[in-house]
Amino acid sequence: MAEKKFEILNKETVYNGFFRLEKYHLKHTLFKGGWIDEIKRELFRRGDCVAVLLYDPVRDEVVFIEQFRVGAILQDRVPWLIEIVAGAVEEGEQADDVAIREASEEADCKILELQLINKFFTTPGGASEWLSLYYGRVDATHVGGVHGLDEEGEDIRVFTVSFEQAWEMLQQGQIDSAIPIMALQWLYINRERLRKL
């Protein structure tokens, strides 16, 4: 197999607002050898992000958030999605600090223990987002309400359900965003271990 190489021939910023869109002219090596001719690709620039599954192993409850998502407006469904706490890593921040901050801002939760589940690209076909997914142990006794930062236009409903209810919601298609799906699958595998700690 040929050595894997790529070359950026040109890059331009197409849009720079809440997010940034860049257009790349590039080429890369082929598995069969040689190089592909110049290709053009748009790249949605989304920096590093964090998501955290808030779970109370004593009460066996999952903390969910629900909010409006513009990415869902083109589907034949309501664009309010059930998700887990998430946010962007700002300059100078560490991912674990963001998990703690976002749990407080979006769900008014204090994380008692934080564990990294995995790091991964969310949609590498056209976006640069690199996500750190965490498990955060919480006491969900008094969790609920509407939270978020007004200056960021956040209107976030926070609620808890038992793990069994959360799993049923997943099976029924009520949770249809990739990150909470992955988080719940991880919890399904690790739940008994977490409940024994």
Residue 1: inside a domain, yes or no? no
Which residues are part of the catalytic machinery? 152
Contacts of 156 (CB under 8 A, 6+ apart): 65, 66, 67, 106, 107, 146, 147, 148
Please check whether residues 15 and 109 belong to one and the same domain. no
In a domain, 142, yes or no: yes
58: its two tokens: 């004593």
Claim to verify: residue 91 and residue 122 sit in the same structural domain: yes
Q: How confident is the model over 110-159, as pLDDT tens digits? A: 999 999 999 999 999 999 999 999 999 999 999 999 998 888 778 999 99
What whole-number distance in Å separates Cα of residue 13 and Cα of residue 50?
A: 25
Domain boundary among 30, 45, 60: 45
CA distances from 16 to 50, 88, 89, 121 (A): 22, 17, 18, 22
Which CATH number is 83's domain given?
Answer: 3.90.79.10
- Over residues 36-51, the pLDDT tens digits come to 999 999 999 988 999 9
Indicate if 57 and 38 belong to the same structural domain.
no
Do 10 and 102 sit in the same domain of this protein? no
**pLDDT reported for residue 150:** 80
- Write the pLDDT tens digit of every residue in 52-89: 999 999 999 999 999 999 999 999 989 999 999 999 99
**For 9-39, what is each residue's pLDDT tens digit?**
999 999 999 889 999 999 999 999 999 999 9
Answer yes or no: do 132 and 69 share one domain.
yes
Q: Which domain holds residue 36?
A: 6-45
The reply to whether 26 and 53 lie within a common domain is no
Q: Which residues contact 186 (CB under 8 A, 6 or more apart)?
A: 53, 117, 118, 133, 135
Give the rounded percent of residues in the chain with a pLDDT score beyond 70. Answer: 99
Same domain, 57 and 77: yes
Task: Tell me: do 140 and 154 sit in the same domain.
Answer: yes
Total domains in the chain come to 2
